[in-house]
Chain A
């Protein structure tokens, strides 16, 4: 057998610390994969014994990227426990803070965390600016818009700026990239479009973050949400604030429609062969239906639902994203989500525990068994035992994927009018079959579709908020008797984060947190094997992927990045005996 073992640690351009190990066969096809998080902080333990009203601020720091989401989920878990329904203004403000995060986060993900898996920066230097402008018009045309950047001069200026940077001799964060790898498929002109938008998106994201600061005080880590409502009453009634919000939103929406979506069409088309390569899928290998392409993975998709559109309270209101679960990529059926069926297993996680537990009863007791360190200086996961700080969430005794793609798929399967319209429009314009969604490229497309939908929906919400304040309703908080309800109670904040289904569960006794558990999107997707040895979404999505150059883990990080991981990690390539497959030259073609 000439199987080889690839270790990637750290996986970069993600948030957090993540390690991926993959085993490839003689054809460089991945036949086995393991996902491991290598950092522990113990936030659930730190929350125990605190005042439940303070959980939000603290739980928010689980992540510095989707900060507002954890904040809100945590506060909602406490509100659910205390049976509080928040006022209309608070609901809309929270939706706006959250919506701003979606648009901001998806944009940063596509351009700054994911694009370099598709875009070869070095190749952009040899592009013809005139042809680039033509190319930009072509892809904008597919999306039915004018291009965000179409002037030859503009592309030329950006190209010169990058060339000047390169000429300085040090590539900084772009040094040692996989430039020139065979699996980069864009033309030099397309690469220049990607680089131009990468730089412009740095500007746009800064403005999009201001939307969250308007009602949240700052970004990252906003501060205006409290148990019972929000505190930003002055910002709600100030017309200048509302006007600024709308201006920032409309500028951001312009970029989403005229740059982001056309770029996804461009990348999607150029990488279409992979999106429809059904031979490469995990399901094919295990004898499933064989839909989808490279990176398809589990094909079970779940969404808790989110963004309440009326004031009937938690879990009763109509939501922007419906709740549901779709099994095996079968869009004809959708089943309701029952939170009682959620459990976390720690068979392969560095924690004590013997059986899957519902989060209300979940435990977080470290039991670290370490890595298998070998003489070659490489450490390996003990994959037969415990190998990650991430637990293994299980729904109804099966593994599921969560995220923007899952929300779009559940929306379409639920026949949600708005979601179906956006998804259908996207596929029609790109002349793409629905099956392309079940792939790495599809996961990236699903996120782009959702970004446009969210940007449009938010404009309606700002107007709703302004109208409500203008009508004289300035209520932002619902009173509650903390001492009365906090003797013994429990609650959950179950909704969606940009990266997928997010739940916070809190049990309160004598005014203090008795137990706290959070099951985050990346736990669902990045979790290790479960007690039955079944793979998680990251692991499953890598199976069947062909790696062009085992020394350069480009395809691995491309698929892993399509999930937008909230855990940081790295990749190394070694053989099963732990011998390095190749010597990494300091001055390879990437160090121009």
Chain B
């Protein structure tokens, strides 16, 4: 019990969970130089898929101005100052050299579906023009033997250079042999290890690949874990949420193209540009939270007036993700917009901690370990306290940041 509360508290108080958005000119100048060198090196590389980006844009009926608009939005999302905009544009043009292999393990294909909904850039641009998507079971033409051949061919051809995207968890417990792929009946663990060996970096997309997700929910029947529990000695980037937002997938790819490095990560290996702040911090219903105006029951007057969903179990205050800013499906909507609280899907163990619709103190929580059930009061109190601390820290951090600016620092 104590251990768990401590864990949750750490999550909210760790320094790594906060984003430093202004690091000073020196920092950015150094980063700029790194990126410049990286892009120059990329440009010198023999082209894998060299293409004329200008003519591509005109083919698409898209002019340079639209492209630059998108580029400046991406620059902002990556939390870089405007001076980086031309570099991001250049990186987008050079991205077509990035070979990507996408594996599906204990998955529901939700992240593949999410990728299909990408709007900036669009999926056809991603597949035909931007990355070299070498292997993706849900989209590729060949099956069986030819599909396996395609994978081997790509691994050999791009040895050490491909980005490996993984969707779905990996059973390493009793279910280790229960999941197989390919004619040889290779289990998921061996399959992942084999394909990851020559990858430049591994990107875990979605709740399952990052923290085990639903297969790892109590009692975790197969012994499922996330990629970072399996792959060691190689950069691992986690893009959690169920499903991961395609904007964040594209952000990581762009950042990699731009810098040749993985983006700055928090203690849970999540890129800070996307997971550096709480949903609550930027929530459109935040003013109602501050005013103490809550939805008390589905469909009540509060619901009709877009009041805060905290009392209906919203986990926005405990969840780090940028969905309150970028939303989903080209910004059409997001869960809180639709009147249903956040379920904390970007956080570890959220199925056992957060994924219910009642206020935390009323939760009928299933013990995450599958062992003896915690009493609701104790558990709820612990979480509420943590949330309180988190919110408090947010206020302090904002105040401190404000003072620094006033002091002319950075």
Contacts and interface: CB of A to CB of B under 8 A. Distances in A.
A215 B217 CA distance: 28
Contacts of B157: 170
A254 B60 CA distance: 21
B332 interface: yes
A180 interface: no
Interface stretch (A171-179, A287-295, A494-502): A171-179
15 contacts: A64-B107, A121-B141, A161-B128, A168-B51, A169-B49, A173-B134, A175-B153, A178-B142, A217-B338, A221-B110, A231-B340, A234-B304, A379-B183, A477-B299, A572-B145
Given A378-B183, A571-B143, A169 B48 contact: yes
A49 B217 CA distance: 12
A9 to B, nearest CB: 5
A43 B169 CA distance: 13
A231 B303 contact: yes
Contacts of B99: 170
B7 interface: no
Contacts, number: 343
Contacts of A203: 122, 124
Interface stretch (B33-41, B172-180, B228-236, B379-387): B172-180
Interface in A14-70: 14-17, 38-43, 45-46, 49-51, 53-54, 57-58, 61-65, 67
Given A46-B219, A161-B59, A229-B299, A8 B333 contact: no
Contacts of B112: 64
Contact of B181 (A9, A164, A216, A586): A9
B149 to A, nearest CB: 5
Contacts of A533: none
Contacts of A40: 171, 175, 178-179, 221-222
Contacts of A378: 183-184
Interface in A144-172: 157, 160-162, 164-165, 168-170, 172
B243 interface: yes
Interface residues of A, number: 114
B302 to A, nearest CB: 10
A11 B140 CA distance: 10
A219 B117 contact: yes
Nearest to B328: A218
Interface in A186-224: 199, 202-203, 205-206, 209-210, 212-224
A233 B299 contact: yes
A454 to B, nearest CB: 19
Interface stretch (A269-277, A366-374, A421-429): A366-374
Contacts of B328: 213, 217-219
A213 B332 contact: yes
B183 A51 contact: no
B123 A53 contact: no
B94 interface: no
Contact of A63 (B108, B118, B146, B213): B108
A168 B146 contact: no
A206 B153 contact: no
The interface centre, meaning the residue of B49, B144, B214, B366 with most chain A CB atoms within 10 A of its CB, is B144
A122 to B, nearest CB: 10
Contact of B123 (A202, A222, A244): A202
Given A224-B339, A574-B183, 6 more contacts: A17-B104, A170-B132, A224-B340, A234-B304, A477-B298, A570-B137
Contacts of B127: 172-173
Contact of B133 (A43, A46, A116, A173): A173
A476 interface: yes
B149 A586 contact: yes
A377 interface: yes
Interface in A533-592: 551-553, 557, 568-574, 584, 586, 590
A228 B298 CA distance: 9
A337 interface: no
Which of A46, A370, A477, A586 has the largest count of B CB atoms less than 10 A from its CB?
Answer: A46
Q: Which of A65, A168, A169 has its CB near the most chain B CB atoms (within 10 A)?
A: A168
A549 B124 CA distance: 31
B147 A570 contact: yes
Contacts of A350: 178
A206 B119 contact: yes
Closest 5 A/B residue pairs (Cβ)? A64-B110, A571-B144, A42-B221, A379-B185, A177-B141
Q: Is the interface of B mostly helix, strand, loop or mixed?
A: loop
A313 interface: no
Contact of B50 (A121, A168, A206, A568): A168
Interface of A: 7-17, 38-43, 45-46, 49-51, 53-54, 57-58, 61-65, 67, 108, 112-113, 116, 121, 157, 160-162, 164-165, 168-170, 172-178, 199, 202-203, 205-206, 209-210, 212-224, 226, 228-229, 231-235, 237, 244, 350, 366, 368, 370-371, 373, 377-379, 389, 474-477, 479, 511-512, 551-553, 557, 568-574, 584, 586, 590
B241 to A, nearest CB: 9
Contact of B139 (A62, A112, A215, A584): A112
Among A17, A41, A157, A475, max chain B CB count under 10 A is at: A41
B69 to A, nearest CB: 19
Contact of B147 (A10, A61, A214): A10
Interface in B304-348: 304, 306, 327-330, 332-340, 343
Contact of B214 (A10, A46, A213): A46
Given A10-B147, A57-B343, A177-B141, A45 B180 contact: no
A217 B309 CA distance: 14
A558 to B, nearest CB: 10
A571 B145 CA distance: 6
A424 to B, nearest CB: 34
Contacts of B132: 170, 172
Contacts of A43: 214-215
B330 A62 contact: no
Nearest to A40: B178
Q: Name which of A17, A178, A237 has the most chain B CB atoms within 10 A of its CB.
A: A17
B258 interface: no
Contacts of A108: 116
A573 B364 CA distance: 51
B340 to A, nearest CB: 4
A164 B180 CA distance: 37
A51 B50 CA distance: 54
Contacts of B110: 61, 64-65, 67, 220-221
Nearest to B213: A61
B184 A379 contact: yes
B221 A41 contact: yes
A222 B142 CA distance: 31
**Most chain B CB neighbours (cut-off 10 Å) among A61, A389, A512:** A61
Nearest to B188: A39
A8 B146 CA distance: 10
A461 B227 CA distance: 44
Contact of A233 (B59, B182, B303, B330): B303
B257 to A, nearest CB: 17
Contacts of B179: 17, 38-40
B146 A13 contact: no
B106 interface: yes
Nearest to B351: A58
A165 B124 CA distance: 11
B63 to A, nearest CB: 16
Interface string B271-312: 000000000000000000000000001110001101000000
Contact of B355 (A11, A57, A178, A226): A57
Contacts of A10: 137, 143-144, 147-148, 181-182
Contacts of A366: 175, 178, 221
Nearest to B174: A366
Given A164-B51, A223-B335, A568-B104, A573 B144 contact: yes
Given A38-B180, A49-B366, A233-B299, A61 B146 contact: no
A65 B145 contact: no
